[in-house]
Protein backbone atom coordinates (compact mmCIF):
# COMPACT_ATOMS: atom_id res chain seq x y z
CA UNK A 1 0.00 0.00 0.00
CA UNK A 2 2.80 2.39 0.89
CA UNK A 3 4.67 1.62 -2.35
CA UNK A 4 1.49 2.15 -4.40
CA UNK A 5 0.95 5.51 -2.72
CA UNK A 6 4.52 6.53 -3.48
CA UNK A 7 4.09 5.63 -7.17
CA UNK A 8 0.88 7.64 -7.42
CA UNK A 9 2.53 10.63 -5.75
CA UNK A 10 5.32 10.50 -8.33
CA UNK A 11 2.90 10.40 -11.28
CA UNK A 12 0.83 13.25 -9.78
CA UNK A 13 3.95 15.35 -9.30
CA UNK A 14 4.97 14.70 -12.91
CA UNK A 15 1.51 15.74 -14.09
CA UNK A 16 1.56 18.99 -12.13
CA UNK A 17 5.02 19.81 -13.48
CA UNK A 18 4.12 19.10 -17.10
CA UNK A 19 0.84 21.04 -17.05
CA UNK A 20 2.51 23.97 -15.31
CA UNK A 21 5.23 23.88 -17.97
CA UNK A 22 2.59 24.06 -20.72
CA UNK A 23 0.98 27.10 -19.13
CA UNK A 24 4.25 28.91 -18.46
CA UNK A 25 5.67 28.25 -21.92
CA UNK A 26 2.54 29.57 -23.61
CA UNK A 27 2.88 32.78 -21.60
CA UNK A 28 6.56 33.08 -22.55
CA UNK A 29 5.98 32.65 -26.27
CA UNK A 30 2.98 34.97 -26.15
CA UNK A 31 5.05 37.68 -24.46
CA UNK A 32 7.80 37.43 -27.08
CA UNK A 33 5.52 37.53 -30.14
CA UNK A 34 2.48 39.35 -28.76
CA UNK A 35 0.38 36.19 -29.00
CA UNK A 36 -2.84 35.13 -27.35
CA UNK A 37 -2.28 32.29 -24.85
CA UNK A 38 -5.88 32.11 -23.64
CA UNK A 39 -6.67 29.01 -25.69
CA UNK A 40 -3.73 27.02 -24.31
CA UNK A 41 -4.39 28.15 -20.75
CA UNK A 42 -8.07 27.19 -21.05
CA UNK A 43 -7.13 23.75 -22.38
CA UNK A 44 -4.68 23.17 -19.52
CA UNK A 45 -7.25 24.29 -16.96
CA UNK A 46 -9.96 22.11 -18.51
CA UNK A 47 -7.71 19.04 -18.54
CA UNK A 48 -6.62 19.57 -14.93
CA UNK A 49 -10.18 20.20 -13.74
CA UNK A 50 -11.49 17.13 -15.54
CA UNK A 51 -8.70 14.97 -14.13
CA UNK A 52 -9.35 16.15 -10.57
CA UNK A 53 -13.09 15.58 -10.93
CA UNK A 54 -12.46 12.12 -12.35
CA UNK A 55 -10.22 11.15 -9.45
CA UNK A 56 -12.91 12.23 -6.96
CA UNK A 57 -15.85 10.64 -8.78
CA UNK A 58 -13.87 7.47 -9.41
CA UNK A 59 -13.38 7.06 -5.67
CA UNK A 60 -17.02 7.67 -4.77
CA UNK A 61 -18.90 6.07 -7.68
CA UNK A 62 -16.57 3.93 -9.82
CA UNK A 63 -19.42 2.53 -11.96
CA UNK A 64 -22.01 5.32 -12.04
CA UNK A 65 -19.49 8.07 -12.85
CA UNK A 66 -18.09 6.61 -16.10
CA UNK A 67 -21.61 5.52 -17.12
CA UNK A 68 -22.89 9.08 -16.64
CA UNK A 69 -19.82 10.40 -18.46
CA UNK A 70 -20.52 8.14 -21.43
CA UNK A 71 -24.11 9.35 -21.67
CA UNK A 72 -23.05 12.99 -21.27
CA UNK A 73 -20.41 12.65 -23.98
CA UNK A 74 -22.95 11.09 -26.34
CA UNK A 75 -25.40 13.93 -25.70
CA UNK A 76 -22.72 16.56 -26.21
CA UNK A 77 -21.58 14.96 -29.46
CA UNK A 78 -25.12 15.15 -30.79
CA UNK A 79 -25.50 18.77 -29.65
CA UNK A 80 -21.96 19.86 -30.56
CA UNK A 81 -22.89 22.05 -33.57
CA UNK A 82 -24.98 24.20 -31.26
CA UNK A 83 -22.16 24.49 -28.72
CA UNK A 84 -19.73 26.18 -31.08
CA UNK A 85 -19.50 29.88 -31.93
CA UNK A 86 -21.21 31.38 -34.93
CA UNK A 87 -24.61 30.88 -36.54
CA UNK A 88 -26.46 27.69 -35.66
CA UNK A 89 -26.97 26.81 -39.33
CA UNK A 90 -23.19 26.47 -39.82
CA UNK A 91 -21.23 23.84 -37.94
CA UNK A 92 -18.07 25.27 -36.42
CA UNK A 93 -14.79 24.30 -38.11
CA UNK A 94 -13.32 21.14 -36.66
CA UNK A 95 -16.74 19.85 -35.61
CA UNK A 96 -16.18 16.42 -37.21
CA UNK A 97 -12.98 15.84 -35.24
CA UNK A 98 -14.60 17.00 -32.01
CA UNK A 99 -17.52 14.64 -32.58
CA UNK A 100 -15.19 11.69 -33.18
CA UNK A 101 -13.16 12.54 -30.08
CA UNK A 102 -16.21 12.96 -27.84
CA UNK A 103 -17.72 9.67 -29.00
CA UNK A 104 -14.43 7.80 -28.59
CA UNK A 105 -14.17 9.05 -25.01
CA UNK A 106 -17.81 8.09 -24.40
CA UNK A 107 -17.20 4.57 -25.69
CA UNK A 108 -14.12 4.29 -23.49
CA UNK A 109 -16.05 5.44 -20.42
CA UNK A 110 -18.83 2.92 -21.06
CA UNK A 111 -16.29 0.10 -21.45
CA UNK A 112 -14.50 1.14 -18.25
CA UNK A 113 -17.80 1.04 -16.38
CA UNK A 114 -18.52 -2.40 -17.87
CA UNK A 115 -15.22 -3.78 -16.61
CA UNK A 116 -15.81 -2.25 -13.18
CA UNK A 117 -19.31 -3.49 -12.35
CA UNK A 118 -19.73 -6.99 -10.87
CA UNK A 119 -23.38 -7.24 -12.04
CA UNK A 120 -23.60 -9.31 -15.28
CA UNK A 121 -26.79 -7.67 -16.54
CA UNK A 122 -25.42 -4.18 -16.00
CA UNK A 123 -22.15 -5.15 -17.65
CA UNK A 124 -24.02 -6.35 -20.75
CA UNK A 125 -26.02 -3.12 -20.84
CA UNK A 126 -22.83 -1.08 -20.69
CA UNK A 127 -21.26 -3.08 -23.52
CA UNK A 128 -24.38 -2.40 -25.55
CA UNK A 129 -24.07 1.30 -24.67
CA UNK A 130 -20.52 1.33 -26.02
CA UNK A 131 -21.75 -0.28 -29.23
CA UNK A 132 -24.59 2.22 -29.39
CA UNK A 133 -22.08 5.06 -29.27
CA UNK A 134 -20.45 3.70 -32.42
CA UNK A 135 -23.87 3.48 -34.08
CA UNK A 136 -24.52 7.11 -33.09
CA UNK A 137 -21.29 8.07 -34.86
CA UNK A 138 -22.58 6.41 -38.03
CA UNK A 139 -25.91 8.21 -37.73
CA UNK A 140 -24.07 11.50 -37.35
CA UNK A 141 -22.16 10.77 -40.55
CA UNK A 142 -18.73 10.66 -38.90
CA UNK A 143 -16.56 7.88 -40.31
CA UNK A 144 -13.74 8.85 -37.95
CA UNK A 145 -16.10 8.44 -34.97
CA UNK A 146 -17.16 4.96 -36.09
CA UNK A 147 -13.55 3.84 -36.60
CA UNK A 148 -12.42 5.33 -33.28
CA UNK A 149 -15.31 3.82 -31.28
CA UNK A 150 -14.90 0.38 -32.85
CA UNK A 151 -11.15 0.49 -32.16
CA UNK A 152 -11.77 1.40 -28.52
CA UNK A 153 -14.38 -1.35 -28.14
CA UNK A 154 -12.14 -4.01 -29.68
CA UNK A 155 -9.15 -2.92 -27.60
CA UNK A 156 -11.29 -3.04 -24.47
CA UNK A 157 -12.47 -6.59 -25.23
CA UNK A 158 -8.89 -7.66 -25.90
CA UNK A 159 -7.75 -6.00 -22.66
CA UNK A 160 -9.61 -8.66 -20.70
CA UNK A 161 -6.94 -11.17 -21.77
CA UNK A 162 -3.96 -8.89 -21.14
CA UNK A 163 -1.64 -10.01 -18.37
CA UNK A 164 0.68 -6.97 -18.35
CA UNK A 165 -0.29 -3.39 -18.95
CA UNK A 166 3.19 -1.98 -19.61
CA UNK A 167 3.75 -3.42 -23.11
CA UNK A 168 0.19 -2.58 -24.14
CA UNK A 169 0.53 1.05 -23.04
CA UNK A 170 3.88 1.25 -24.83
CA UNK A 171 2.15 -0.02 -27.97
CA UNK A 172 -0.45 2.73 -27.67
CA UNK A 173 2.33 5.31 -27.41
CA UNK A 174 3.92 3.90 -30.58
CA UNK A 175 0.60 4.18 -32.44
CA UNK A 176 0.25 7.84 -31.47
CA UNK A 177 3.86 8.53 -32.48
CA UNK A 178 3.40 6.84 -35.87
CA UNK A 179 0.31 8.90 -36.66
CA UNK A 180 2.12 12.08 -35.66
CA UNK A 181 5.07 11.09 -37.86
CA UNK A 182 2.75 10.42 -40.80
CA UNK A 183 1.15 13.83 -40.36
CA UNK A 184 4.59 15.43 -40.34
CA UNK A 185 5.53 13.49 -43.48
CA UNK A 186 2.40 14.69 -45.28
CA UNK A 187 3.11 18.28 -44.27
CA UNK A 188 6.72 17.96 -45.41
CA UNK A 189 5.68 16.40 -48.75
CA UNK A 190 8.06 13.48 -48.34
CA UNK A 191 5.61 10.67 -49.11
CA UNK A 192 5.80 8.81 -52.46
CA UNK A 193 3.67 10.27 -55.23
CA UNK A 194 0.78 7.78 -55.30
CA UNK A 195 0.56 7.62 -51.51
CA UNK A 196 0.73 11.41 -51.22
CA UNK A 197 -2.11 11.79 -53.75
CA UNK A 198 -4.27 9.26 -51.87
CA UNK A 199 -3.68 11.02 -48.55
CA UNK A 200 -4.33 14.43 -50.08
CA UNK A 201 -7.63 13.26 -51.57
CA UNK A 202 -8.72 11.80 -48.24
CA UNK A 203 -7.69 14.82 -46.14
CA UNK A 204 -8.55 17.54 -48.70
CA UNK A 205 -5.97 19.88 -50.19
CA UNK A 206 -7.03 22.67 -47.82
CA UNK A 207 -6.01 20.72 -44.74
CA UNK A 208 -2.73 19.64 -46.31
CA UNK A 209 -2.09 23.29 -47.16
CA UNK A 210 -2.71 24.30 -43.54
CA UNK A 211 -0.29 21.62 -42.35
CA UNK A 212 2.40 22.82 -44.75
CA UNK A 213 1.95 26.41 -43.63
CA UNK A 214 2.34 25.29 -40.02
CA UNK A 215 5.46 23.29 -40.80
CA UNK A 216 6.94 26.26 -42.65
CA UNK A 217 6.37 28.49 -39.61
CA UNK A 218 7.95 25.84 -37.40
CA UNK A 219 11.06 25.79 -39.59
CA UNK A 220 11.36 29.57 -39.56
CA UNK A 221 10.69 29.99 -35.82
CA UNK A 222 11.75 26.67 -34.34
CA UNK A 223 12.74 28.15 -30.98
CA UNK A 224 9.73 30.17 -29.80
CA UNK A 225 7.30 29.77 -32.67
CA UNK A 226 5.23 32.63 -34.07
CA UNK A 227 3.20 33.02 -30.87
CA UNK A 228 0.01 31.38 -29.58
CA UNK A 229 -3.09 32.21 -31.61
CA UNK A 230 -1.17 33.81 -34.49
CA UNK A 231 -1.29 30.99 -37.03
CA UNK A 232 -4.42 32.35 -38.70
CA UNK A 233 -2.79 35.74 -39.22
CA UNK A 234 0.28 34.31 -40.97
CA UNK A 235 -1.15 31.37 -42.92
CA UNK A 236 -1.95 32.03 -46.57
CA UNK A 237 -4.15 28.95 -46.76
CA UNK A 238 -6.18 30.06 -43.76
CA UNK A 239 -6.58 33.55 -45.26
CA UNK A 240 -8.02 32.06 -48.46
CA UNK A 241 -10.39 29.70 -46.60
CA UNK A 242 -13.96 30.66 -45.76
CA UNK A 243 -14.95 30.00 -43.07
CA UNK A 244 -11.69 29.65 -41.18
CA UNK A 245 -10.96 29.20 -37.51
CA UNK A 246 -7.30 30.21 -37.83
CA UNK A 247 -5.93 26.79 -36.85
CA UNK A 248 -3.98 24.16 -38.80
CA UNK A 249 -6.22 21.30 -37.61
CA UNK A 250 -3.37 19.33 -36.09
CA UNK A 251 -2.35 19.77 -32.46
CA UNK A 252 1.36 18.88 -32.90
CA UNK A 253 1.75 21.10 -35.97
CA UNK A 254 -0.13 23.96 -34.32
CA UNK A 255 2.15 23.88 -31.29
CA UNK A 256 5.22 23.53 -33.51
CA UNK A 257 4.18 26.62 -35.45
CA UNK A 258 3.04 28.74 -32.51
CA UNK A 259 5.31 27.57 -29.66
CA UNK A 260 8.28 25.93 -31.36
CA UNK A 261 9.97 22.65 -30.54
CA UNK A 262 9.42 23.06 -26.80
CA UNK A 263 5.66 23.27 -27.34
CA UNK A 264 5.66 19.95 -29.21
CA UNK A 265 7.78 18.30 -26.53
CA UNK A 266 5.40 19.53 -23.83
CA UNK A 267 2.41 18.13 -25.73
CA UNK A 268 4.17 14.77 -26.00
CA UNK A 269 5.03 14.97 -22.31
CA UNK A 270 1.35 15.41 -21.40
CA UNK A 271 0.43 12.26 -23.31
CA UNK A 272 3.32 10.31 -21.79
CA UNK A 273 2.31 11.49 -18.32
CA UNK A 274 -1.23 10.17 -18.85
CA UNK A 275 0.17 6.79 -19.90
CA UNK A 276 2.49 6.83 -16.87
CA UNK A 277 -0.43 7.56 -14.54
CA UNK A 278 -2.39 4.70 -16.10
CA UNK A 279 0.56 2.34 -15.75
CA UNK A 280 0.86 3.12 -12.04
CA UNK A 281 -2.90 3.20 -11.41
CA UNK A 282 -4.40 0.78 -8.84
CA UNK A 283 -7.36 -0.05 -11.10
CA UNK A 284 -7.66 -3.43 -12.88
CA UNK A 285 -5.68 -3.81 -16.10
CA UNK A 286 -8.75 -3.96 -18.42
CA UNK A 287 -9.98 -0.61 -17.08
CA UNK A 288 -6.55 0.97 -17.47
CA UNK A 289 -6.00 -0.32 -21.01
CA UNK A 290 -9.52 0.69 -22.08
CA UNK A 291 -8.92 4.25 -20.93
CA UNK A 292 -5.52 4.22 -22.62
CA UNK A 293 -7.08 3.08 -25.91
CA UNK A 294 -9.73 5.82 -25.76
CA UNK A 295 -7.17 8.50 -24.99
CA UNK A 296 -4.92 7.23 -27.79
CA UNK A 297 -7.88 7.46 -30.17
CA UNK A 298 -8.29 11.05 -29.02
CA UNK A 299 -4.59 11.69 -29.66
CA UNK A 300 -4.91 10.32 -33.19
CA UNK A 301 -7.97 12.46 -33.91
CA UNK A 302 -6.26 15.54 -32.44
CA UNK A 303 -3.18 14.90 -34.59
CA UNK A 304 -5.23 15.04 -37.77
CA UNK A 305 -8.01 17.36 -36.66
CA UNK A 306 -9.08 20.19 -34.41
CA UNK A 307 -10.49 18.23 -31.47
CA UNK A 308 -8.45 19.80 -28.67
CA UNK A 309 -9.80 23.25 -29.49
CA UNK A 310 -13.13 22.22 -27.93
CA UNK A 311 -13.22 22.56 -24.15
CA UNK A 312 -15.74 19.74 -23.83
CA UNK A 313 -13.21 17.34 -25.35
CA UNK A 314 -10.32 18.35 -23.09
CA UNK A 315 -12.54 18.14 -20.01
CA UNK A 316 -13.71 14.70 -21.11
CA UNK A 317 -10.14 13.50 -21.63
CA UNK A 318 -9.15 14.60 -18.15
CA UNK A 319 -12.29 13.08 -16.66
CA UNK A 320 -11.65 9.67 -18.24
CA UNK A 321 -8.00 9.70 -17.19
CA UNK A 322 -9.00 10.60 -13.62
CA UNK A 323 -11.65 7.88 -13.45
CA UNK A 324 -9.16 5.26 -14.67
CA UNK A 325 -6.50 6.24 -12.13
CA UNK A 326 -8.71 6.63 -9.03
CA UNK A 327 -8.84 4.08 -6.21
CA UNK A 328 -12.50 3.25 -5.45
CA UNK A 329 -13.53 3.13 -1.81
CA UNK A 330 -14.99 -0.34 -2.33
CA UNK A 331 -11.46 -1.73 -2.77
CA UNK A 332 -10.06 -0.20 0.40
CA UNK A 333 -11.84 -2.36 3.04
CA UNK A 334 -10.56 -5.54 1.44
CA UNK A 335 -7.05 -4.16 1.39
CA UNK A 336 -7.37 -3.07 5.00
CA UNK A 337 -8.72 -6.47 6.08
CA UNK A 338 -5.92 -8.32 4.32
CA UNK A 339 -3.41 -5.97 5.87
CA UNK A 340 -4.91 -6.47 9.33
CA UNK A 341 -5.04 -10.22 8.92
CA UNK A 342 -1.43 -10.32 7.76
CA UNK A 343 -0.40 -8.20 10.74
CA UNK A 344 -2.30 -10.47 13.13
CA UNK A 345 -0.75 -13.55 11.54
CA UNK A 346 2.69 -12.07 12.01
CA UNK A 347 2.04 -10.94 15.60
CA UNK A 348 2.15 -14.40 17.22
CA UNK A 349 5.43 -15.15 15.53
CA UNK A 350 6.95 -12.02 17.02
CA UNK A 351 5.55 -12.93 20.45
CA UNK A 352 6.83 -16.44 20.09
CA UNK A 353 10.22 -15.09 19.18
CA UNK A 354 10.15 -12.97 22.33
CA UNK A 355 9.17 -15.99 24.50
CA UNK A 356 11.66 -18.36 22.99
CA UNK A 357 14.36 -15.75 22.95
CA UNK A 358 13.87 -14.90 26.65
CA UNK A 359 13.62 -16.93 29.82
CA UNK A 360 12.13 -20.46 29.40
CA UNK A 361 8.59 -20.84 30.63
CA UNK A 362 8.12 -22.92 33.78
Residues 199-249: tens digit of each pLDDT: 777 788 888 889 999 999 999 998 999 999 999 888 888 878 766 677 889
On whether the CB atoms of residues 280 and 8 are closer than 8 A, the answer is yes
Convert the pLDDT of each residue in 9-44 to its tens digit. 788 899 999 999 999 999 999 999 889 999 999 999
Q: Return the minimum-mean-pLDDT range out of 104-118, 173-187, 225-239, 333-347.
A: 333-347
Convert the pLDDT of each residue in 270-296 to its tens digit. 999 999 999 999 999 999 999 999 999
Q: Return the minimum-mean-pLDDT range out of 93-97, 339-343, 355-359.
A: 339-343
* pLDDT at residue number 351: 36
State the helix-helix crossing angle for 311-325 and 95-116, rounded to 10 degrees. Answer: 20
**What is the rounded distance in angstroms from the CA atom of residue 308 to the CA atom of residue 310?**
5
On the question of pLDDT at 195 being above 50, the answer is: yes
On the question of pLDDT at 309 being above 50, the answer is: yes
Provide, rounded to the nearest whole percent, the portion of the chain with pLDDT above 90. Answer: 64
Q: 325: pLDDT confidence band, cut at 50, 70 and 90?
A: very high
On whether the CB atoms of residues 116 and 69 are closer than 8 A, the answer is no
Query: Which three-class secondary structure string do you get for 67-97?
Result: HHHHHHHHHHHHHHHHCCCCCCCCCCCCHHH
Please indicate whether residue 170 or residue 88 has the higher confidence score (pLDDT): 170
**What is the rounded distance in angstroms from the CA atom of residue 177 to the CA atom of residue 181?**
6
Dihedrals φ, ψ of 205, to 5°?
-65, -30
**Non-local CB neighbours of 21 within 8 Å, separated by 6+ positions:** 266, 269
Convert the pLDDT of each residue in 141-161 to its tens digit. 889 999 999 999 999 999 999
Q: 64: pLDDT confidence band, cut at 50, 70 and 90?
A: very high
* pLDDT at residue number 9: 77
What is this structure's pTM? 0.86
**What is the rounded distance in angstroms from the CA atom of residue 204 to the CA atom of residue 221?**
26
Does residue 229 come out as left (phi exceeding 0), alpha (psi in the -120 to 50 range) or beta? Answer: left
Convert the pLDDT of each residue in 67-86 to its tens digit. 999 999 999 888 865 444 43
**What is the rounded distance in angstroms from the CA atom of residue 156 to the CA atom of residue 153?**
5
On the question of pLDDT at 167 being above 50, the answer is: yes
On whether the CB atoms of residues 301 and 97 are closer than 8 A, the answer is yes
Domain residue limits, the chain: 2-336
Radius of gyration of the chain (CA): 24
On the question of pLDDT at 352 being above 50, the answer is: no
* pLDDT at residue number 335: 32
* pLDDT at residue number 80: 66
**What is the rounded distance in angstroms from the CA atom of residue 323 to the CA atom of residue 312?**
16
Indicate the average pLDDT of the chain.
84
Distances (CA, A) of 194 to 118, 178, 186: 51, 20, 12
Amino acid sequence: MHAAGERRNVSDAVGVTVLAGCAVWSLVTAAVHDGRPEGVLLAVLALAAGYAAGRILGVLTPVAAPCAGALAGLALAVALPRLGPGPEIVAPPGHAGATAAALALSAGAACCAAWTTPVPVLRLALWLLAGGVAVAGALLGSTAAVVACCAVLLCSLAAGRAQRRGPALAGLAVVAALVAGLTWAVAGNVLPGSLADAVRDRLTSRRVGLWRDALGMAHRESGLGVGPGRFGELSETAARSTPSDGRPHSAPLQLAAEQGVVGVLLLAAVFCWVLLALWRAPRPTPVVLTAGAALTALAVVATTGNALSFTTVTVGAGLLAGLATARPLAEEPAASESSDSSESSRAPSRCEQGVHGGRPAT
